[in-house]
Chain A
Amino acid sequence: GAVVSQHPSRVICKSGTSVKIECRSLDFQATTMFWYRQFPKQSLMLMATSNEGSKATYEQGVEKDKFLINHASLTLSTLTVTSAHPEDSSFYICSARRPGNSDTIYFGEGSWLTVV
């Protein structure tokens, strides 16, 4: 079964509003989580690395004020898309590093965001 869960799986929001996506590690504590964006038929684009209790590290070109990431606990990271616009419509996927085997990374089921 899934070890990383995302919610919601699909969300539609109006342009100008904000939307929050949650990522939870279900049976382990994840000190590090990652947020990706994926366009149709393309590879995964890393947006940011989220470390529990500290600020996220954003990849070059990703607007940190637009994509707010919070990793307040060892099992939950959130991505908030602020002042969403239609061009923010995409598939957002989180992943979490499972401790004990430091390089095993599990992905969530993804969240489809449509901004209308």
Chain B
Amino acid sequence: QQQVKQSPQSLIVQKGGIPIINCAYENTAFDYFPWYQQFPGKGPALLIAIRPDVSEKKEGRFTISFNKSAKQFSLHIMDSQPGDSATYFCAASSTGAQKLVFGQGTRLTINP
């Protein structure tokens, strides 16, 4: 019930392509869905986050799509660059629960 399932585990895309990372959840109390980017040896950095009252949110080249009925959300990276190569984590939390539940992570490689 508390799990967030993330896929794929790894992804390789050519420069300029649009990698898509998907996450699914079961707990309908979740109302906050952030994405984090982590480079090797560094802490995760908040990329973008969405709440269930909207179906899409865009910040720069990063877009979150949210499907409340399917309990799924995804991250799209437009015009991907080699510098986007990192591990991406989706997460979810509910108001008052404080803590984030993380997906398993996706190791993204953007080839030049």
Is A28's CB within 8 Å of the partner chain B?
Answer: no
Among listed B36-44, B60-68, B76-84, interface-contacting one: B36-44
- Are A107 and B99 neighbours in the complex by a CB distance under 8 Å? no
**Interface hits, A66-108 → B, CB 8 Å:** 91, 93, 95, 97, 102-108
In whole angstroms, how far apart are the Cα atoms of A42 and B43 in the complex? 13
Identify which of B34, B42, B89 contacts A44 (C-beta below 8 A).
B89
Chain B neighbourhood of A46, CB < 8 A: 99-100
A44-B44 contact in complex given A105-B34, A105-B100, A107-B36, C-beta closer than 8 Å: yes
- Are B98 and A93 neighbours in the complex by a CB distance under 8 Å? no
Residue with the highest number of chain A CB atoms closer than 10 Å, among B34, B36, B99 = B99
Tally of A-B Cβ pairs under 8 angstroms: 50
Chain B neighbourhood of A103, CB < 8 A: 32, 34, 49, 93, 95
Chain B residues within 8 Å of chain A by Cβ, number: 21
> Per-position contact with A for B74-112: 1 when CB-CB < 8 Å, else 0?
000000000000000100010100111011110100000
In whole angstroms, how far apart are the Cα atoms of A43 and B100 in the complex? 12
In whole angstroms, how far apart are the Cα atoms of A102 and B96 in the complex? 9
Nearest Cβ on chain A to B43's Cβ, whole angstroms: 4
A44-B45 contact in complex given A102-B95, A103-B93, A107-B36, C-beta closer than 8 Å: no
Chain A neighbourhood of B95, CB < 8 A: 102-103
Contacts A49-B99, A91-B41, A104-B34 aside, 4 further interface pairs with beta carbons under 8 A come to A46-B99, A102-B95, A104-B46, A107-B44
Shortest beta-carbon contacts, A-B, top 3: A103-B32, A107-B43, A110-B43
